[in-house]
Structure 1
Amino acid sequence: MSPMPPSSPHGATSEKPALARGSGQHVLIVAGEPTLAELLSTTLELAGYRISLVGTGTEAMARATERRYDLVVLDATLPDVPSLARVRRPPVSHRPPVLILTAYDSLELLLPELGLGAKDYVTKPFRVAEVLARIQMLLSGTAPGAHRGNSLTYGDLALDDARCQARRGARELDLTPAEYRLLRHLLVNAHRVLSKEQIGRYVWGDFRGDNAIEQLVSRLRRKVDRDGPTLIRTRRGFGYWLGKPDAEA
């Protein structure tokens, strides 16, 4: 696996923007840090999007109720974002998808919705090419593992975060808490290879060694892939990923 490029101060890795993918869609960027705001607005403008920029979650919530946006890019590390979960939000007629930028490797901390629709996320430090790819998938409605309400879906696999339950087709999966966290992490990161260290730190908060990860993946695989096409896959020497055979990471 090639090393990550050097990180810039705002938490994104340095690289040239990808080729334009937008077609004039209106994107609301919510970022308070000047360098991050400049990177996102410049990159997305070069990629063919129309940009509006605000510096707080409160401003974003007000904007989302006043006008229609095709997509929102939200820096979830803004200080006022967690408090928005307690704010009664006015109804909105249009719920644009949102791409969340976060320093955390979990979405449980990022549930304030700002009256928005489908969700996906990237973690800092991020690659601008990945941000552009995730935006494109959200706008097309094909983002793997994107949130819709309390549910996460991929094909016939569905997770209900409100009840911490998982299903494969009509079959309910009897998962332990660790198995559920692992499946959720794989699903949110569908088509991305996750290393054993990344998995261990997400599931248990620390790295417990290769054997513990391998046993956990093996147990989960027996439950998820028992009666259907294989979804949980191994990239030998790199880690594990969730996806269909034609979506090789």
Structure 2
Amino acid sequence: MNTLPDDALPTSSRHSVRRLARGERADGMDDLAEEVPVALEYNGISHAVMMATPADLEDFALGFSLSEGILDDAGECYGIDIEQACGGVTVKLDVSARAFAQLKERRRSLSGRTGCGLCGVDSLDQVYRTLPALAPDRVLTAAGISAALAALGGAQPLSRLTGAAHAAAWCGPDGGLQAVFEDVGRHNALDKLIGMMARRRIDTATGFALITSRASVEMVQKAAMARMSALVAISAPTAAAVRLAESCGLTLVAFARGGNFVCYANPTVALFG
């Protein structure tokens, strides 16, 4: 893989500001999270442009490809090249003939882009893709959720610096953080996590995913496509996300804060034992 140097694109920058606090005005500096357009190309054909934090872009591209159903397996990606271009980044993926043919067929069904937030979707019947049937979760516990939440704040440097980044973490059964990815986009952070796990062949039955956002349909679909058996969100779920989680067997926990949480789909004995 051909990648950019780690410092080629900063993830944050400083900007002068004027504050008003307790009636007093003060000039100073503030740290802002960077976001850049990231174009994803498959075998030379542009498919999507996403605004993302310019870090861990190989994992992002691979995770996006898997969670959106463009690739069935990480092995269908033969290489990734990353180039700066036009004020952003182009990520070029070399993928299998099968995956590319499927992508071209999908593109032929599109009449144009909209701003709906569902990449590559042009009609209502394309919104809900067929998800795998997930095995019942066996590792998620209340103690594990609590431990992961307690540790997560210290593992989010960009969020601490700017207050503008979401995180997605992979947690062991005891709540130990095994990997944490940050991005200005909640979907992007989860895609980065999915890409890393696929690249390293991490068994999704050995832990759970924790996200610092709401649990929307897209987040549930991405977790299910990655065959994660449990998704824990700090914020609320949507009704559609809960129905989707119920249908595919995903254990969905939301409003996870401190030692409290609400399980909305597929509760397990271990979780409340």
TM-score (norm 1): 0.27
Structure of higher CA gyration radius: 2
Query: Which structure exhibits the higher relative contact order, with contacts defined as CA atoms closer than 8 Å and separated by 6 or more residues?
Result: 2
TM-score (norm 2): 0.25
